[in-house]
Amino acid sequence: MFDSLRKKWKVGGVQLLLIIATFAIGGSLTGYAGKKIMNHLPLVPDWLWTLIYIALITLLWPVAVLLVSFPLGQYRFFSKYIRRILFKMGFHSMKAGELPKKHIAIFASGAGSNAQKIIDHFRGHPTIRVVLIVCNKPGAGVLNIAIKEGIPALIIETERFFRGDSYLPEMEDASIDLIVLAGFLWKVPSALIQKYPERIINIHPALLPEFGGKGMYGANVHSAVLAAAKKQSGISIHLVDDQYDHGKVLFQANCPVQEGDTIESLTQRIHALEHLHYAPEIEKYIKENV
């Protein structure tokens, strides 16, 4: 149960314990305060007393939990948690939005054609937004896309990404729910994988488990497919774990490798599959799992 909660809430073991403690202390405080208030009410029939008590507890609980969350460092989590509850109860006109949105961060290293397709797909979406572009190359074309689309961009450097805090504070500040890799050439560090278990998606330009692993990206993959004289290639959309191209495959689509194909011609055919399928599969995964 605890492991499923940790994955659902995208938190580590220590934070899960603090969240559970906040629930417990906040609940106890709510019950104590509710009984104190009820003791000062005039005598009423038992059924009315019960109704008043339930209504009072319902109002007191969010306040008590938020108060407890401050010293335990969990205010950000519980403020979002309570907003979701209020939305489900029908309070749609809450501060900051009509509908609770899932936030995507796109990690990219190159021109950003897949990033553009993803942004286009979710433009105007009622519950999913691309809120951050993360790039490891200052001159990459995807940064121009970020400027054009008005999406904040974060340029990362090696030392902090792999041996520092892996930019987790920036991910938390943007309330990121899902990380999408779109031509991102660095291996994702374990700190990010632990923070976002089953919440990082990648697209690979071949039919995994074939032609995956370290160094297998872009033209390297297509060259290997052609050298192996394969009759078909394709794309694999998969979850990211601590090994290259190893996580659970969510979706695959294939295309023929034609006689006379070059790296360039096969690349174009694979790109067409990526642009067609990646964004819809991201949306499907979010709706079912995030």
Long-range contacts formed by 38-43: CB under 8 A, 24+ apart? none
Residue pair 182/108 in contact (Cβ under 8 Å)? The answer is yes
| Pairing status of strand 178-181 against strand 102-108 | parallel
* Residue 121 annotated to the active site: no
Catalytic, out of 204, 222, 238, 277 = 204
Among 117, 243, 273, 269, which Cα is nearest to 180's?
117
**Which tokens belong to 142?**
């995807």
Quickly list H helices, the chain.
2-9, 13-38, 46-69, 75-88, 113-122, 141-149, 158-163, 168-173, 190-195, 219-227, 263-289
With 0-12 / 13-18 / 19 or more C-beta atoms within 10 angstroms meaning exposed / middle / buried, residue 205 is buried
Q: Is the peptide bond before 209 cis (omega within 30 degrees of 0)?
A: yes
From CA 55, how far away is CA 52, in angstroms rounded?
5
Residue pair 220/143 in contact (Cβ under 8 Å)? The answer is no
Q: Is 101 left (phi over 0), alpha (psi -120 to 50) or beta?
A: beta
| Pairing status of strand 178-181 against strand 153-155 | unpaired
Distance from the first to the final alpha carbon of the chain: 17
Residue numbers annotated as active site: 204
